[in-house]
Amino acid sequence: MKIQEYVSLANFTTWKVGGPAEWFAEPTTIHEIKYLINWAKSQQINCQIIGAGSNLLINDAILPGLTICLKKFQGSAINSNTGIVEANSGEPLPTLSRRVAKAGLHGLEWAVGIPGTVGGAAFMNAGAQGNCTSDILQSIQAISLKGGDEFKLSQKELNYSYRKSRLQQEEFLVLSVRFKLEAGHDKHSLNKVTTQNLQQRLNSQPYDLPSCGSVFRNPKDNKAGQLIESLGLKGFRIGGAEISKVHANFIVNSNDATANDISQLILVIQEKVKQSYGILLLPEVKKLGF
């Protein structure tokens, strides 16, 4: 494992934007993660964590401190009898969704089209089709970015709500997640539903251009995409950032967009929806370096 200087983070986000990290590393083991946290502490610099780089907007300027990318910290253990699943935070959600379906475990079919990691799902309380991560999560294993020992937090201790968790307020790094799924289901039926869910997402969302997934949380009793579309904003753009013509809650990088293009487009959408409906759309996307 190398600690690298000035690595472009555009290569590590699904939007394909972002400036260079002052320091950057991709650990593959818990030992390496602990080493990196202690190294940053010794250098008196901050740590920031990224996973698959979805749901993430990184500024175009240099990102100070150490950026730890957990994308290579993968692995999972699946018990098909008890339904208990342990997964490292860098495990891709689509991969885990497929694996548990093949093991006859029900409860993660909705996640097959989400281009994120297990740790990111726990952090954001990711969800789709009326389901969310907190429904099946039992606990997480974490470590403080300020240095220290590992600790466990239960589902109740994470204070979950719609696209929110305690993890968004505190400087924790999620090491692994423990899920409880329903065992004893027919593997073929689960695989069929999983495939259908993926196809539905492919048909209704823009996968031909870089995006971060849904940009805004759905307000109560409304859909963010429908509000934006009703204002005729599909196709509206700032620089290389464009409101998708396929789904209005997606901003796509259509032509070498910058993080600033995307950030400005988010503000314009918020302003127009607020003026027309009196609703302030809250972004799902996490910002770094702004």
* Host H or E run for residue 287: strand 286-288
Q: Are strands 131-132 and 127-128 parallel, antiparallel or unpaired?
A: antiparallel
Helix (H, G, I), strand (E, B) or coil at 40: helix
Cα separations in angstroms, 164 against 23, 86, 112, 186, 258: 28, 22, 21, 33, 27
* Choice among 163, 165, 201, 211 that is catalytic: 163
The token pair that represents 226 in the structure block: 């429908």
Is residue 166 part of the annotated active site? The answer reads: no
Does residue 171 carry a catalytic annotation?
A: no
Q: Are 131 and 114 in contact (CB under 8 A)?
A: no
Q: Which residues pair with 85 in a beta bridge?
A: 78, 179
26, 86, 91, 284: which one is catalytic? 284
98 is catalytic: no
Residue 111: strand pairing partners: none
**Nearest CA to 66 among 173, 190, 179?**
173
Catalytic residue among 54, 89, 214, 254: 214
Q: Is 175 helix (H, G, I), strand (E, B) or coil?
A: strand
Q: Which residues are catalytic?
A: 163, 214, 284
